[in-house]
Amino acid sequence: MNISAKLGSNGAIDITNNTTASITTTATLTTAGTAGGGLAILGDIDVSTERGAEAALSAIEGLTQTAVRAAADFGSAQGRVEIQGKYVSNLMDSLKSGIGSLVDADMEETSAKLQALQVQQQLGIQALSIANQAPQNILSLFR
Do 42 and 66 form a contact (C-beta atoms < 8 A)? no
pLDDT of residue 122: 94
| Residue 80: count of CB within 10 angstroms of its CB | 10
pLDDT tens digits along 121-133? 999 999 888 888 8
Please report, for the chain, the start and end positions of each structural domain, with discontinuous segments joined by +.
3-122
Q: pTM here?
A: 0.41
Mean pLDDT of 69-87: 92
The residue ranking higher by pLDDT, 104 or 71, is 71
DSSP strands (E only) in the chain = 3-7, 13-17
Burial class of 13 by CB neighbour count within 10 A (0 to 12, 13 to 18, 19+) = exposed
